[in-house]
Chains A and B, each alone.
Chain A
């Protein structure tokens, strides 16, 4: 058994890794800049840069020596910042900057001392221009060769940290040079280690259980989740066990009366139940049972009475699907040889059902129910937000609505890890109920 557990744990590692990579890709790569997503569009590059610095988003994604900075951009969808408009001698056009006199390039922030920076300049000009800059070692200059098509120039310097340093200055070599067009100008920063990446940072924070702070409330996310888990469990655990018990009982009942009218009735009822949308259950329950007939409180989380209606709705909305599934499982077993043998021995129906069929049907029942476990944790997104139960589901819906990325990420990551662990638990349960599994 121990070997079995260890082997399963080992198989878990690649899955867990994959899950973390996918979560990371979703939040840090696919979504574009988290800073732009959270701070909105009308912020300065400096604010974005500070945000990124604080959360480690200014590092390379997975691996690399160089990382891009926002020194020359305000938003990711404009190639040049509006700050260029105020520069004397430069003219901002749609996708390029045209320089006609000597001009100093504005930067969004002053680089810190000791940073290694690299400029890359893509330009086009018929004239001759000189590029001047200063770094920790003193002033430098370089003549840009004329480039009719497209020229590339890049330079690496070490910043001295005094603000003025690291700025680029373009100077025409004579008074009447044809203009210089800057197609693209980027500033990259060299990392001290190529492993110092966003992904490693992400994993590191995860292991330290540091999920950041909520944008909306400013509270640490972990604390918010700790407060939310209690109400979620209060809501979902009774639903989980109630549904399991009721569904298995009804399924056994169906197997007892198989293909007679009680069975047919339950099957029809469960297909009908399955087809009612979850939202409808909630809205109707809240309207009729709570508001019109006044059987239950409508909204809030003050005593156990507030949980009655959500329990009821949760129980019924999931019942249809589970009954149908468990019934199929039971009926599958009913036509096996061992059942025929049991009947042939003269065992009564209830003995066959409870002692033989139910035991053999345990594996699918366990799979189905353990797979539902992680939903205990998220609570029910809808139930909680409709009934004002301050659980994790409520938290996630609010976070989704206010684009509170850190909270959503924390909920997703923890939910996923729990899901993977639930998989493990279900496998261990198999091994417990069916010794053959262990030997495979």
Chain B
């Protein structure tokens, strides 16, 4: 008797999200992905903090400070930090002094500096900030559009459905990247164009998924019950059906995040993304030209960062999908 009560409370205390996270955490590969995502999130938040700190003080932030005397420093482990410390301190220095100096050398530019003497590690963190901003803000544009239109189309059906289906098939039948670039061109250079372009072009997949799911839910007993109790259509849609299809939103978010990052990198590489701030695309475009001069570290660092975060999101997205909705197919990105 007592046992059953505890078991029941245990089961009840597991929410859908808690359960999904716990399932993902149990698999070691998923755990690593979650940790990588956490690491990048912390880096992005730290980047935001640094950005606003210097913005409010009206100073040039360190990641934009040009110092030609420090240009082309390789990453510190490759720059013989301890040998340099020994040389700098002279032969009569104690061992601890050398070790301490060496360690501080090691921490100074862990990923080296670029052709203008700016620290690559700090710029990388700022790039993470921009990438996360793009991922989040484009989702904040696209997901509400997709969810609201999908709910309305699925729930009301008829003429409303026809119009919304027409709208999303129209948007879906435009070549995405080209249109994103055109929107960005029209909106002007800068992040606003990137947000609008990606946000306004990528809501159709989610809208279609939600619509199809709502059509299934519309006739379920719980919706009938709510209707019988006198709930209005919008209350039913947002309070009753939406929580039941919300896993689609989460999955779509985890899939759109890496692709938004990829598109942002591409756009800032072309010069229509963020202006005057370091972003991964700008770093790649800068590093590409210096690669021929033997500056391999900036390219390697950015490549590794983009690869890691996209891989982590791709794998975590798969895991999330398995945990939340095993029926959805792999590879069907929104």
Which residues of A are interface residues toward B (Cβ below 8 A)? 14-15, 18-19, 22, 26-27, 30-31, 37, 271-272, 274-280, 283-284, 287, 291, 321, 324-325, 327-328, 332, 374-375, 378, 381-382, 396-397, 400-401, 403, 405, 408-409, 411-412, 415-416, 419-420, 423
B254-298 with Cβ < 8 A to chain A: 258, 262, 265-266, 269-272, 281, 284, 288, 291-292
A405 to B181, CA, bound (A): 12
Determine the chain A residues whose CB is within 8 A of the CB of B173 once the complex forms: 15, 19, 416, 419-420, 423
Determine the chain B residues whose CB is within 8 A of the CB of A411 once the complex forms: 178
16 A-B pairs in the complex with CB atoms less than 8 angstroms apart: A15-B169, A18-B166, A18-B169, A18-B170, A27-B186, A30-B187, A271-B314, A274-B310, A277-B262, A277-B306, A279-B281, A325-B330, A325-B331, A382-B266, A408-B182, A419-B175
Determine the chain A residues whose CB is within 8 A of the CB of B299 once the complex forms: 283
A272 to B312, CA, bound (A): 10
In the complex, the answer to whether A378 meets B281 with C-beta atoms within 8 Å is no
Q: State the Cβ distance, B262 to closest chain A Cβ, in Å.
A: 6
Q: State the Cβ distance, A313 to closest chain B Cβ, in Å.
A: 14
How many residue pairs link A and B with beta carbons under 8 A? The number is 120
Determine the chain B residues whose CB is within 8 A of the CB of A328 once the complex forms: 329-331
In the complex, the answer to whether B306 meets A401 with C-beta atoms within 8 Å is no
B215: interface (CB < 8 Å): no
B245: interface (CB < 8 Å): no
Q: Which 3 A-B pairs have the closest CB atoms?
A: A18-B170, A325-B331, A31-B186
A324 to B255, CA, bound (A): 15
In the complex, the answer to whether A277 meets B177 with C-beta atoms within 8 Å is no
Quick one: which of A26, A276, A374, A416 contacts B186, CB cutoff 8 A? A26
A382 to B265, CA, bound (A): 12
B126-182 with Cβ < 8 A to chain A: 166-167, 169-171, 173-175, 177-179, 181-182
A26 to B181, CA, bound (A): 11
B75-126 with Cβ < 8 A to chain A: none
Which residues of B are interface residues toward A (Cβ below 8 A)? 166-167, 169-171, 173-175, 177-179, 181-183, 185-187, 258, 262, 265-266, 269-272, 281, 284, 288, 291-292, 299, 303, 306-307, 310-311, 314-315, 329-332
Determine the chain A residues whose CB is within 8 A of the CB of B181 once the complex forms: 381, 396, 400, 408
Determine the chain B residues whose CB is within 8 A of the CB of A403 once the complex forms: 185
Determine the chain A residues whose CB is within 8 A of the CB of B331 once the complex forms: 321, 324-325, 327-328
A382 to B177, CA, bound (A): 11
Q: Contacts A14-B166, A18-B170, A328-B330 known; A271 to B175 CB distance under 8 Å?
A: no
In the complex, the answer to whether B303 meets A15 with C-beta atoms within 8 Å is no
Quick one: which of A283, A332, A381 contacts B177, CB cutoff 8 A? A381
Determine the chain A residues whose CB is within 8 A of the CB of B170 once the complex forms: 15, 18-19, 22
Determine the chain B residues whose CB is within 8 A of the CB of A324 once the complex forms: 330-331
Determine the chain A residues whose CB is within 8 A of the CB of B315 once the complex forms: 271
In the complex, the answer to whether A415 meets B284 with C-beta atoms within 8 Å is no
Q: State the Cβ distance, B313 to closest chain A Cβ, in Å.
A: 9
A26 to B281, CA, bound (A): 26
Residue of B nearest to A377 (CB): B175
Q: State the Cβ distance, B161 to closest chain A Cβ, in Å.
A: 14
Quick one: which of B175, B272, B291 contacts A287, CB cutoff 8 A? B291
Quick one: which of A26, A276, A279 contacts B182, CB cutoff 8 A? A26
In the complex, the answer to whether B307 meets A276 with C-beta atoms within 8 Å is yes
In the complex, the answer to whether B270 meets A412 with C-beta atoms within 8 Å is no
Residue of B nearest to A29 (CB): B186
In the complex, the answer to whether A278 meets B266 with C-beta atoms within 8 Å is yes
Determine the chain B residues whose CB is within 8 A of the CB of A400 once the complex forms: 181-182, 185, 270, 272
- New A-B contacts (20) at CB < 8 Å, excluding given A26-B182, A275-B311, A280-B307: A15-B170, A18-B170, A30-B186, A31-B187, A275-B258, A277-B262, A280-B284, A280-B306, A325-B331, A328-B331, A375-B175, A378-B178, A382-B266, A403-B185, A405-B185, A408-B181, A408-B182, A412-B178, A412-B182, A423-B173
In the complex, the answer to whether A412 meets B175 with C-beta atoms within 8 Å is yes
In the complex, the answer to whether A415 meets B175 with C-beta atoms within 8 Å is yes
A63 to B183, CA, bound (A): 24
Determine the chain A residues whose CB is within 8 A of the CB of B167 once the complex forms: 18
In the complex, the answer to whether A416 meets B175 with C-beta atoms within 8 Å is yes
In the complex, the answer to whether A279 meets B314 with C-beta atoms within 8 Å is no
Determine the chain A residues whose CB is within 8 A of the CB of B177 once the complex forms: 378, 381
Residue of B nearest to A291 (CB): B292
In the complex, the answer to whether A416 meets B174 with C-beta atoms within 8 Å is yes
In the complex, the answer to whether A275 meets B178 with C-beta atoms within 8 Å is no
In the complex, the answer to whether A401 meets B270 with C-beta atoms within 8 Å is yes
A66 to B82, CA, bound (A): 78
Residue of A nearest to B284 (CB): A279
In the complex, the answer to whether A283 meets B186 with C-beta atoms within 8 Å is no
Determine the chain B residues whose CB is within 8 A of the CB of A271 once the complex forms: 311, 314-315
Q: State the Cβ distance, A147 to closest chain B Cβ, in Å.
A: 39
In the complex, the answer to whether A374 meets B329 with C-beta atoms within 8 Å is no
Determine the chain A residues whose CB is within 8 A of the CB of B169 once the complex forms: 15, 18
A282 to B70, CA, bound (A): 29
Q: State the Cβ distance, A395 to closest chain B Cβ, in Å.
A: 12
A321 to B314, CA, bound (A): 11
Quick one: which of A30, A275, A420 contacts B307, CB cutoff 8 A? A275
A26 to B331, CA, bound (A): 31
In the complex, the answer to whether B271 meets A401 with C-beta atoms within 8 Å is yes
Residue of B nearest to A267 (CB): B330
A375 to B181, CA, bound (A): 15
Residue among B173, B174, B185, B265 with max Cβ neighbours from chain A (10 Å): B173
Q: State the Cβ distance, B176 to closest chain A Cβ, in Å.
A: 9
